[in-house]
Structure formats: structure tokens, C-alpha cells
């Protein structure tokens, strides 16, 4: 009887706690909805727009996975919306300047950062000022900060402006110790995605190509910063390569920064710039408040539309999730666009290091259905349009890239681990089989592939490479051998890609839209963005309803608590979810 009452009490307590938890969550959601429905803040005179950029900037607003059960998640504005907001701030009489406070700027890749930088430089053409203040300066946020009239650093701040590098982990020794045999097949001598699993260090080919494109992008960085800081490029290179600006004081002495100031002293500088009295406060406006108070004005009376399709993240088989390119979701979206008579052209904004070759093929096929409807397609490349990212772009009517876009990587690979030795030597488990034919067992983790099976796998990989070459040759109007000469998995900067014929012009999304309108022969149009991305509140509701896999939730938790580990885990998860031949870039390069 005593245990009965204990169980009854425990059950009742569980129900009560569950009700309390649901009540709290419900109240938080209601509060979030009420907060979202509040009237936008009115922007007063002599205001300063405050840009923090404290997380990765996606291409498409909210195209990121929110943190689990984060009830305070706000809109995560994409690159297009941020640039548009800066353009509106330029013409807003209430906004007198911009304060950049990007201590831990995780802006993303080189091209994204440069697009934001160009928007800031354009803002200054109005005669308005930009100030920057930070506790920490790395190449990424310094690249943005260099647009400022004055760059301030905290007296105990950290200046980590010392050039660019790539670090690649190699797992071969670990895999060998575990007894795992990685059966690897690839096409393209520069295809480095498999090297961490078969070599102990970079091959000469990959060391060469990474050095080439990294130096190219570094040259662009130096030229841009030198122009803004009114320094000679070689002097700037000397300072950065020698790590001479390694403290706040030396950063000022070398000309990389202007003053060493505390945050309250920056406010005093803003008062002086705005002509305010010492007793008057400075009105700082967040980007969220500014956008909600100054929404983009669209003329919905215009019937003709140009679709902007954002393809960002890893290309995956299936639906995918926010921040990835699932072929089933994108094929449906593209088929819908093909049938929409109001859509006259498409701009495919690609920011992807690639992924599944099969998924890339399906997306390219859907793109060609749009072309069959006589709707021109223009590609605009972001940070990456490499491997599978270039695969889906290569047959567009015109291709635009940023000078520091990372593209190319035209090559494919397969990796199949075998645990036969691991299971036998480490766990004492041995598998045996009976087969009706030499290939009947198919792909599995329990047996090493024999020479016949390995030959089949290599032949299939090379056939996929030939398909890739054929698509590029058709799209770029080149001969197969000419494509092969610049392919082989090699990575190119956007500037080099223009020189070798992989892209048509250097430019951003706006230039691509203008080209699409010209090809479609439309003078007046409005844009429509695809795919539809749920806002943070909708994503939270999906999370509460149990949407998403346990693996996805694990990565979200890692991003929150261990952001340094998350990229490696995400890469492993992407490989685990992928099937068949892969067309993906080996490294991810960020301005940090």
C-alpha cells in the first residue's frame, strides 16, 4: 500500500510539474507574440544606427536553426535585408551615423563581409559618419571597421590582425589506430575533401591551390583596407605580416586604429560629433528597431516578378533543414516558380560548398525546367559556389561572382569506411557471409571491398566526374578537355574564375537582378524570395512540437555551448546524411 501511494504521489507531482512547465512556456510564447505585435519604436532626431553583427549573417533572413527553446530569439536578418537597411539609413534624416560594435563578429565568409563593407562605404557617401569600437579585433570585424572615420579600441582590448590561414585536421592516424579502413575514391588531383582521411598532411597540389587562392583573397583585403585607412598597401602588409599591431597602443602607432578609449568615452565622442551637450544622451538604434520602423517599401501593384532563390548551406538528399539545401524542398520550389506566369526571371543566389552529387543533379534538372519555360536564370555567387554549389550554377544564362568568392572545385569523391579490422581486433566480432554473386553484399561497414568492388567504385566516381565536366562544358560553352584542364577539384577565387571562364562578370546580387531583368526584357518588377523560411517564433513552435531530429538538436546545443566544435560535428552529420558520390569543398574559410 505504501508503494502505491508513493507511485500515486510521484505521478501527481509529474503532472503538476508538467502543467507548470507548459504554463511557463505558454506565457513566454504569449509574451513573445505580444512583443512582436508592439508598435515599432519611433526613430528620433540625431540618432545613431548601432550594428553589432554578433552572429553569422545568412543570405536569407531567418535561414538559420534557432537555439532550442530560446524564447528571446529575435529576427536573424539576412545579408540582403541588412544591406537594404543600411541603404535606407543613408537616406533617413534621423540617422546621422553608424556605430559598429562587432567584438566577436562572425560575419561569415569573405564575400559576405565585403558586401557589407561596400554597403558601409556607400553609406558614407551621404556625408554621414561611421565610428567603430571594440574589445577584440580580428581580420573579419576589422575589415568592416576599416570603413569607419574613427576606429577605437578598449585599453585592454585585443588586436589579432595577423593575416589569413587555413587549418585542416587530419584523421588518418586516429583512423588507423581505431582499425578503421577508409575506402576512398575520387576524381581530380586537387580534390582535397578526402585528404584528411588518407594522408597525414596536405598534398603538394592542395597546399599549392590553397596558398594561391588565400593569397589572392588576402591581396583584395589589403587593397581595400589600405584605401580606407589611407595607407600604402605594402606598408599595411608589413604591419600585418609582422604582427606589429599586437596591442591597442601599437595598433594606433601603426595606423590601423585611431584611439584607445573606454566605451563611455566613445559616447563622449559621439556627443561631440552630433553636437550634443554633455547632459544629453545619445540615441542608439538597433538594426532590429530600425528595420521594424523603416520596412522596405515594395510596390505590390507591379505584376512582373523576379524570383530570388537562396541556395545556402550544404546540398543534401531529402528535405534538409534551415541553412541547408535539401533537394526535395528546392525541386518543389523551382517547379512552382516554373509554373508561375508572374515570375519572368530567376536569380539563384548560391552560397554553398556543395554536397550530394545526386541532389545537385536533381536541382540542376529543376533549374533547366525553368529555362525551358523561357525564363532566364542568372546566378549570383556569395562566399562559396564550389563543387556541388558550382554544379547547380554552371548552366545559368549568366554568372556573377564577388572578387573573393571561392568557387570551382569541380570534382567528386566517395568514402566508405570498413570496420572489419576494428570489430575483429578490438571487439572480437567477426562477420561472415554467403553471397549469390561477387557484388551481392553491396555497400556495408563489415567487410573490406575486394579489388573488383573497388574498381567498380572508382569507375562510378570517374563517370560522375565526366557528368560534372559535361554539365560545365554545356553551360559554359567550352570543350570537355578545356573544362578538365581547370577542373580536377581545384578551387579558384572569383577574380580568377572570371579569367578562366567559370563566371561571366564580377558583381553582387543587385547587378545579377539587373542582368536578369534585361534578359527577361522587363523594366518594372518586384522581387519574390524563395524558399519561405519560418520566423523564429514559428521555428520555436516547431521545436516544441518535436520537429527536427535529435542530431539537429544536438548541433544546436553545441553551437550555443561549444561553438568551436560545432562546425566539425555539422560536417560529420552532413556526411552521415549524404548518399552516393559527393561534390563538396574540402575546407571552410572564414574571416575571424
Catalytic residue numbers?
191, 387
Reported as type and span, the H/E element at residue 528 is: strand 526-530
Strand partners, 131: 99, 150
First to last CA, the chain: 64
170: nearest Cα among 201, 208, 209, 211: 201
Burial of 479 (0-12, 13-18, 19+ CB in 10 A): exposed
> How far apart, in whole angstroms, are the C-alpha atoms of residue 119 and residue 220?
17
Burial code (b: 16+ CB inside 10 Å, e: under 16) for 15-52 equals eeeeeeeeeeeeeeeeebeeeeeeeeeebeebbbbbbe
3-state secondary structure 316-385: ECCCCCCCCEEHHHHHHHHHHHHHCCCEEEEEEEEEECEEEHHHHHHHHHHHHHHHHCCCCEEEEEEEEE
Q: At 47, give phi and psi (nearest 5°).
A: -90, 155
What is the C-alpha separation between 345 and 277, in angstroms, rounded? 53
Cα–Cα distance list, 562 to 171, 183, 413 (Å): 21, 31, 30
- The x, y and z cell numbers of residue 449, run together, are 571491398
DSSP letter string, 470-503: HHHHHHHT--HHHHHHH-TT-EEEHHHHHHHTS-
The β-bridge relationship of strands 406-408 and 491-493 is antiparallel
Interstrand relation of 412-418 and 491-493 (parallel, antiparallel or unpaired): unpaired
What region does 390 belong to: left with phi over 0, alpha with psi -120 to 50, or beta? alpha
CB 57 within 8 A of CB 82: yes
Residue 163: burial class (beta carbons within 10 Å; 0-12, 13-18, 19+): middle
391-404 burial by CB neighbour count: b if 16+ within 10 A, else e?
bbbbbbbbbbbbbb
**336 CB-side CA count, 13 A:** 13
Cβ(137)–Cβ(170) under 8 Å?
Answer: no
Determine contact, residues 161/404, Cβ cutoff 8 Å.
no
Cross-strand bridge partners of residue 50: 99, 286
CA angle 580/582/584 to nearest 5° reads: 165
The number of C-alpha atoms within 13 Å of 346 and in the hemisphere containing its C-beta is 33
Measure the CA–CA gap between 48 and 273, rounded to whole angstroms.
Answer: 11
Amino acid at each position: 500500500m505504501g508503494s502505491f501511494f508513493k507511485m500515486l504521489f510521484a505521478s501527481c507531482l509529474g503532472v503538476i510539474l508538467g502543467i507548470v512547465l507548459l504554463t511557463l512556456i505558454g506565457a513566454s510564447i504569449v509574451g513573445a507574440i505580444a512583443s512582436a505585435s508592439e508598435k515599432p519604436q519611433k526613430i528620433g532626431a540625431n540618432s545613431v544606427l548601432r550594428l553589432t553583427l554578433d552572429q553569422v549573417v545568412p543570405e536569407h533572413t531567418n535561414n538559420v536553426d534557432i537555439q532550442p527553446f530560446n524564447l528571446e530569439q529575435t529576427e536573424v536578418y539576412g545579408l540582403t535585408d541588412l544591406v537594404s537597411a543600411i541603404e535606407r539609413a543613408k537616406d533617413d534624416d534621423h540617422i546621422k551615423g553608424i556605430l559598429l560594435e562587432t567584438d566577436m563578429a562572425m560575419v561569415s565568409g569573405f564575400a559576405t563581409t565585403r558586401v557589407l563593407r561596400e554597403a558601409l562605404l556607400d553609406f558614407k557617401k551621404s556625408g554621414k559618419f561611421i565610428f567603430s569600437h571594440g574589445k577584440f579585433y580580428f581580420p573579419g570585424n576589422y575589415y568592416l571597421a576599416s570603413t569607419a572615420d574613427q576606429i577605437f579600441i578598449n585599453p585592454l582590448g585585443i588586436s589579432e590582425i595577423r593575416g589569413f590561414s587555413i587549418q585542416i585536421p587530419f584523421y588518418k592516424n586516429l583512423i588507423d589506430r581505431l582499425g578503421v579502413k577508409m575506402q576512398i575514391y575520387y576524381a581530380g588531383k586537387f580534390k582535397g575533401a578526402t585528404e584528411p582521411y588518407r594522408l597525414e598532411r596536405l598534398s603538394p597540389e592542395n597546399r599549392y591551390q590553397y596558398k594561391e587562392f588565400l593569397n589572392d583573397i588576402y591581396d583584395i583585403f589589403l587593397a581595400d583596407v589600405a584605401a580606407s585607412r589611407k595607407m600604402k598597401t605594402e606598408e599595411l602588409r608589413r604591419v600585418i605580416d609582422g604582427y606589429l599591431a599586437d596591442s591597442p597602443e601599437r595598433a594606433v602607432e601603426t595606423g590601423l586604429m585611431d584611439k584607445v578609449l573606454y566605451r563611455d568615452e566613445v559616447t563622449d565622442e559621439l556627443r561631440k560629433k552630433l553636437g550634443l551637450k554633455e547632459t544629453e544622451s545619445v540615441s542608439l538604434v538597433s538594426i532590429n528597431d530600425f528595420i521594424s520602423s523603416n520596412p522596405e517599401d515594395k510596390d505590390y501593384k507591379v505584376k512582373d516578378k523576379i524570383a530570388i532563390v537562396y541556395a545556402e548551406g550544404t546540398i543534401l538528399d531529402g528535405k534538409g533543414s534551415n541553412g541547408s539545401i535539401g533537394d526535395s524542398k528546392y525541386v518543389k520550389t523551382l517547379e512552382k516558380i516554373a509554373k508561375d506566369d508572374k515570375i519572368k526571371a530567376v536569380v539563384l543566389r548560391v552560397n554553398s560548398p556543395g554536397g550530394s552529387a545526386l541532389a545537385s543533379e536533381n536541382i540542376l534538372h529543376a533549374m533547366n525546367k525553368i529555362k525551358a519555360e523561357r525564363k532566364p536564370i542568372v546566378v549570383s555567387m556569395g562566399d562559396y559556389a564550389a563543387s556541388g554549389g558550382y554544379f547547380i550554377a554552371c548552366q545559368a544564362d549568366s554568372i556573377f561572382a564577388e572578387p573573393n568568392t571561392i568557387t570551382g572545385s569541380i570534382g567528386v569523391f566517395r568514402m566508405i569506411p570498413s570496420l572489419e579490422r576494428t570489430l575483429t581486433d578490438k571487439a572480437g566480432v567477426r562477420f561472415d557471409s554467403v553471397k549469390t554473386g561477387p557484388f551481392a553484399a553491396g555497400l556495408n561497414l563489415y567487410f573490406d571491398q575486394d579489388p573488383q568492388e573497388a574498381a567498380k567504385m572508382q569507375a562510378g566516381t570517374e563517370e560522375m566526374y565526366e557528368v560534372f565536366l559535361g554539365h560545365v562544358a554545356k553551360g559554359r560553352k567550352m570543350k570537355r578537355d578545356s573544362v578538365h584542364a581547370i577542373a580536377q577539384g581545384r578551387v579558384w577565387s572569383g577574380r580568377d574564375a572570371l579569367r578562366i571562364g567559370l563566371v561571366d562578370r564580377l558583381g553582387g546580387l543587385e547587378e545579377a537582378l539587373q542582368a536578369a531583368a534585361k534578359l527577361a526584357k522587363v523594366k518594372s518588377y518586384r522581387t519574390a524570395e524563395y524558399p519561405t523560411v519560418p520566423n523564429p517564433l514559428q521555428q520555436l513552435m516547431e521545436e516544441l512540437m518535436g520537429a527536427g531530429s535529435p542530431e539537429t538538436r544536438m548541433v544546436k546545443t553545441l553551437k550555443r555551448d561549444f561553438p568551436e566544435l560545432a562546425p566539425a560535428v555539422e560536417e560529420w552529420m552532413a556526411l552521415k546524411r549524404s548518399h552516393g558520390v559527393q561534390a563538396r569543398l574540402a575546407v571552410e574559410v572564414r574571416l575571424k
